[in-house]
Amino acid sequence: MFFFLKILIIYIILNYFNIDLLKGLPIILPILLAVAFFTVFERKILASMQRRRGPNVVGLYGLLQAIADALKLLSKETLIPSNSNIYIFILSPIFTFFISMLCWSLIPFKYNIVVSDINLGILFLFAFSSLGVYGIIMSGWSSNSKYSFLGALRSSAQFISYEISMGLILIPIILYSQSFNISEIILNQNNIYYIIPLFSFFILFFIIGLAETNRIPFDLPEAESELVSGYNTEYSSIGFTFFFLAEYSNIILMSSIIVILFFGGWLYLPFSIKLLSIMFLFVWIRATLPRYRYDQLMYLGWKVILPLSLGFTLLSISLFLIFI
């Protein structure tokens, strides 16, 4: 009931602020292409770091491997478990994919090149992104599988644990910018990127970004050695494709948010160069670090990152009030 109430509130807010979701349709295809080629980009980097070839058969240098994988996935049979809640089982990946695409309507790629440049953009962005966990919970519950359900529980607990710290990190950035508008946050970095005065916040935010997107070393919801594939264990074909696209879209989205908050978006250097650099860091971490245990993940979130985020936030606010 609370879920549908939340959806209704967001629908009312979208209408109140005149956010036209149809305007976002032209950006969906480029995002899907970016996701497709990011998978090839990731596999090539991992292969290079592990001293092997990686994709090199389909297309020039294996660049069309993502298209071959997509055709393979879409041609597979869609299986629905006999004891599952069919309607929620089918709705979950669609909802997760829709939310991941919705968030892109608030990302400014250049000055005035944004679908919805609203004054409360940064709050809307994190409000929309927080809805993605509902799709994961619904998929885990509706699958009627212990692996899927445990993966969904892990994902929701992990998301909540690290989202609190993420909210704290936003406070000094909003305070320094004196605005909730994403474009204004970028323009206020014209003199200096926020990574310089807020470097500790960048490190924390990057770690939180890994946890929020279920990336190694925090990919506990999909731990193959324990949960087969986590919340998407029972999905195949188009359902799995939607989850896959949503996950990688969220990785690129989180990289974009980091570029916007700490590297001045499009200022001085092209947005795409900064974005690719952050995406490379995500892949580099995957190739370097082992997976955490779940108790270590929770310990890091609640007893390390949360106190550090709170302490750094109070310190930055105090310095802001003293010197500015």
Q: What is the 3-state secondary structure of 214-237? A: CCCCCCHHHCHHHHCCHHHCCCCH
171 burial level (CB within 10 Å; 0-12, 13-18, 19+): middle
Q: Which positions ≥6 away from 60 have C-beta within 8 Å?
A: none
pLDDT at 89: 84
Give me 277's structure tokens: 């650099």
Report whether 169 contacts 209 (CB < 8 A): no
pLDDT at 27: 74
What span, in angstroms and rounded, lies between the C-alpha atoms of 149 and 212?
Answer: 18
Higher pLDDT, 175 or 220: 175
pLDDT tens by residue, 185-244: 888 888 888 888 888 889 999 998 888 888 878 887 666 666 666 777 778 788 888 888
What span, in angstroms and rounded, lies between the C-alpha atoms of 39 and 37?
Answer: 5
Rounded (10°) CA dihedral 183, 213, 88, 223: 180
pTM equals 0.85
**H, E, C per residue of the chain:** CHHHHHHHHHHHHHHHCCCCHHHHHHHHHHHHHHHHHHHHHHHHHHHHHCCCCCCCCCCHHHCCHHHHHHHHHHHCCCCCCCCCCHHHHHHHHHHHHHHHHHHHHHCCCECCECCCCCCCHHHHHHHHHHCHHHHHHHHHHHCCCHHHHHHHHHHHHHHHHHHHHHHHHHHHHHHHHCCCCHHHHHHCCCCCCCCCCCHHHHHHHHHHHHHHCCCCCCCHHHCHHHHCCHHHCCCCHHHHHHHHHHHHHHHHHHHHHHHHHHCCCCCCCCHHHHHHHHHHHHHHHHHHCCCCCHHHHHHHHHHHHHHHHHHHHHHHHHHHHHHC
pLDDT at 21 over 80: no
Give me 297's structure tokens: 């993940």
Q: What percent of the chain has pLDDT over 70?
A: 89
* Average of per-residue pLDDT across 72-90: 80
* Average of per-residue pLDDT across 24-34: 76
Q: What mean pLDDT is reported for the chain?
A: 81
pLDDT at 2 over 50: no
Q: What percent of the chain has pLDDT over 90?
A: 2
Single-letter code of the amino acid located at 83: N
pLDDT at 33 over 50: yes
Sign of CA dihedral 316, 176, 262, 255: positive
Q: Which residues pair with 113 in a beta bridge?
A: 110
pLDDT at 4: 56
What span, in angstroms and rounded, lies between the C-alpha atoms of 273 and 172?
Answer: 26
Report whether 109 contacts 30 (CB < 8 A): no
pLDDT at 20: 52
pLDDT tens by residue, 99-118: 888 888 888 888 777 777 77
Task: Count CB neighbours of 152 within 10 A.
Answer: 27
